[in-house]
A and B are shown apart, each in its own frame.
Chain A
Amino acid sequence: MSEYRVEMKVNGRRVAEAVEARTSLGDFLRLKLGYTGVHMGCEHGVCGACTIMVDGRAVRSCLMLAVQAEGSEVLTVEGLADAQDALHPAQDAMRKAHGLQCGFCTPGVVMTLASLCADRRCDEQSMVAAMSGHICRCTGYQGIRRAITMLAAEVGSAGSDT
């Protein structure tokens, strides 16, 4: 079985590894690089738990092969807090609004919200619509909705580009 050399930037760190073509980007990040904040749930693109950012866009890491990320900038939840470990506004809002219980879906939810903040699409409507791509079995979504309301108010009013 042939392996392929792949180079990318993960959370600001340049990595070069050999991978099988069939290795998903999610498995690559977890198993080769140890970023276990990438939660693999359904592995066929339904649950959204494995959502990460590739070149600034929220994508499902189970639906992308590691070899396809060649030359990309990848961000996982581990890379979201700043150097001083201050939480990203999306993380902070989820915590304050009790947007999680078991936490399995949370990294994916947070990465989608953070990508929308970065893309300046942090209005409440866009963020709520993007939540259709995530399944949460604990919260009944109301905590997540409150987090979004909080985040939209905060990031929107701060004019922040985080």
Chain B
Amino acid sequence: MKPAPFDYVRPASIDEACTILSEAGGGATVIAGGQTLVPLLNLRMSQPFVLVDIGAIPELRGVDRVVGGIRVGPMTRQADALEDQLLAQHLPAFVRALSHVGHHQTRNRGTIGGSVALGEPAAEMPATAVALGAEIEIASIRGTRRVPAEAFYLGPYMTVLEPDELVTGIIYPDWPQGHLVVFQELAQRPGDFALVGMVGALVIEGGLIQRVGLSWFGMGPTPMKMRRVEAELQGKAPDALDLKSLSRLAVSDAAPFDDHHASAEYRRTVGGRMFTRSIGDALALGEVA
């Protein structure tokens, strides 16, 4: 349970970090809060030559209002984001999902960017980014680029991030005040990764669903966006919805697998009920977190 040896660097700027990553030629791993990475190091599932600690780069920290949305610095600690007024006011679904990430003690170290960049398929933060339509800002010595969260995830712990690239921001688009929060998760214990979960937001204006973003987590190799259900919900009146058939459609957008916690069939069964309940709750209760 001790990591293999590695070197350690703590760059002071994004440029410096990108240079180190580029020169390491794939042998470097970025550490933010380390709450998922250090277990992987301890179990020797990850064996980098050099660990690049981005904890001392001030511009990677904090939550800011930007044109059309909210930008979250990847080094923002989960505990700080949970108390952030901007996020509470503008992205209640994000805060709701975040409160289910790990435990008090791991949120004190764990970061938003770490969770987003790692891409654990059963984690809340990647699915939240996908559901809300966030963009991931990525830097390297070759320049910067932005990737929609939906296109960022390729498989479990696999993303489009190249070995020389660093996530420098997660930009969540504005959702109008009063939008409805959808969130539900089933886990064996509070703080565990979800067996099944869903997260998202709904905008109802003039009695019709005007905008919707929904994603599963723990229901496939990546966060699974409920594309067909979103298309189906768009423009509909909430009380005219057939939640039963929509739940079947939602589950068909997922690709759950068997593992030692639960079977794929169990996940589909629970997912269907979870969908009916959480959409029903959001619409009936007008739950504005």
Contacts and interface: CB of A to CB of B under 8 A. Distances in A.
Prevailing SS type, chain A contact patch: mixed
B246 interface: no
Interface residues of A, number: 29
B190 interface: yes
A47 B83 CA distance: 25
Prevailing SS type, chain B contact patch: loop
Interface stretch (B4-12, B61-69, B196-204, B214-222): B4-12
Interface string A32-44: 0000000000011
Interface string A121-150: 000000001101100000000000000000
A57 B3 contact: no
Contacts, number: 88
B41 A22 contact: yes
A97 B39 CA distance: 34
Contacts of A20: 5
A155 interface: no
Contact of B103 (A24, A64, A130): A130
Interface residues of B, number: 31
Interface string A59-81: 11011110110100000000000
Nearest to B56: A70
Interface stretch (B105-113, B127-135, B177-185, B272-280): B105-113
A67 B8 contact: yes
Contact of B42 (A51, A59, A62, A130): A62
Contacts of A1: 5
B127 to A, nearest CB: 21
A72 to B, nearest CB: 11
Given A44-B1, A60-B106, A130-B103, A68 B42 contact: no
B34 A68 contact: yes
Interface of A: 1-2, 4, 20-22, 24, 27, 43-45, 48, 51, 57-60, 62-65, 67-68, 70, 112, 129-130, 132-133
14 contacts: A20-B5, A21-B6, A44-B1, A44-B42, A44-B43, A48-B103, A57-B79, A59-B105, A60-B105, A67-B8, A129-B104, A129-B190, A132-B103, A132-B189
